[in-house]
Amino acid sequence: MNLRNNYKFTVAGCYFGYIVQGVILSFLPLLYVQLNGEFSISYDKISIIITITFLLQLLIDVFSTGFVTKLGYRKCLVASSTCALIGFIGLCFLPYHMDAFTGIIISVLFYSTGCGLIEVLISPLVEACPTKNKTAHMCLLHSFYCWGLLFTVLVSTAYFALFGIENWRWLALGWAVLPFMNVFIFLFCPIYTADEEGKTVPPKALVKNKTVWLVIALMFLGGCAEVSISQWMSVFVETGLNIPKDYCDLLGTCIFAACMGVSRVGFGLLSNKMRLERLLAAASFAAVIGYLMIGLSPYAWLSIAGCALCGFSTAVLWPATLSFGSKTIPEGGTSLFAFMALGGDLGCVIGPSAVGFIADGTSIQMGILSGVVFPLALFILFTVIIAKKSFFGKKDGGLPLDRPQ
């Protein structure tokens, strides 16, 4: 089978890219308590690390349309894996050869660049591949982020138990193998783009469209709801519930990731039978319940159940909103995906940073409880969308709003 001519290798490389993204976004959060003790990095500084992680991805979202067009998809895809590779290597060595906080920031700058490129490029690449059920493939694609997160937690937990968490730097070096492998996949696999058919509108026209801004807002809130809990899960279970490190990631982050993965695979299999706006409204409401269980429950087991519910419910918010946006505005092309990624990554910056700053002044449980505003706002928005579509008598298709001209 020829690697250069078979789109299945392209899809496989994209799946593997999301595994790399899962490792990037989940490995360092497992170390927040360790970094706090080993290098005296406070939680407000950890919030700065989280902010930089997603702010850089946000900047890539803003400027990606221009430089991706000039450089081409293949060069940018290879660059994404290369930056992730450099980031993991830097995380292993830099904190021990310079100011630890500065060293971590430099490493984060590199692998966040790779992560941002992955987010911008891979979703439209899979959308452009000649597959039959694109919504199913989109959700399956994003499930690999969950499996990457789950894989990271399981491998990290086993490594910490065998070699001690104080030797975390060598595991960071080991994770560099994954983006190194993906460099070679993207060097040779066929590349498809969402703009090849010539039916897309320019970015300036999209910016003037109200529906685009609505979809960006939905992505923003979805990013806030998902990442606010995922980034602080390990800290909450270890310090908020006082569960030992050997078990906290298995009981918190691992369950969260597993529920996310199952939810996204299930959505992918059943996507043709679902109305996206109703599914997203239900998922948002379930996330509200999960946040309240985590923030208000006096029982550890109920808080863990809340973590699982948040994982299951927030899992579909990002991929389903991407599909919702592409179906509502089919003329958007790669630019639309960049704008949606921009909204989602902005939520990934603001949501967990706000939770961290509130937690630093109160407690981690109160910080996470404050994040309930994000799924609640999302639920209200989708309820309005459903009511508006019903009022206009539109059971399927686009919103009763303006579309690109």
In terms of pTM, does the model score above 0.85?
A: no
Q: Determine the Cα–Cα distance for residues 147 and 126; give it in Å rounded to an integer.
A: 18
DSSP symbols for 136-201? HHHHHHHHHHHHHHHHHHHHHHHHHHHH-GGGHHHHHHHHTHHHHHHHHHHHHS----TTTTS-PP
Residues in the chain, overall count = 405
Contact (CB, 8 A) for 309 and 290: yes
What crossing angle do the helices spanning 100-128 and 43-71 adopt, rounded to 10°? 40
Q: Determine the Cα–Cα distance for residues 357 and 146; give it in Å rounded to an integer.
A: 26
Would you state the structure tokens that stand for residue 386, as one six-digit string? 């459903």
Average the pLDDT over each of 15-24, 205-214, 325-334, 353-362 and give the range with the smallest value: 325-334
Closest by Cα among 160, 162, 300, 310 to 243: 300
pLDDT at 95: 93
Of residues 366 and 392, more confidence is placed in: 366
Angle (CA) 251-256-261 rounded to 5° is 130
Average pLDDT over residues 340-350: 85
Of residues 247 and 27, more confidence is placed in: 27
Q: How confident is the model at residue 390 (pLDDT cuts 50, 70, 90)?
A: low
**In the predicted model, is pLDDT for residue 230 greater than 50?**
yes
Encode pLDDT of 352-369 as tens digits.
888 888 988 888 889 999
Encode pLDDT of 149-202 as tens digits.
889 988 998 999 899 989 999 999 999 999 999 998 888 888 877 655 455 677
Share of the chain above pLDDT 90, in %: 26
Alpha-carbon 269 to chain mean position: 20
**In the predicted model, is pLDDT for residue 3 greater than 60?**
no
How many other CB atoms are there within 10 angstroms of residue 209's CB atom?
21
Average pLDDT over residues 102-127: 88
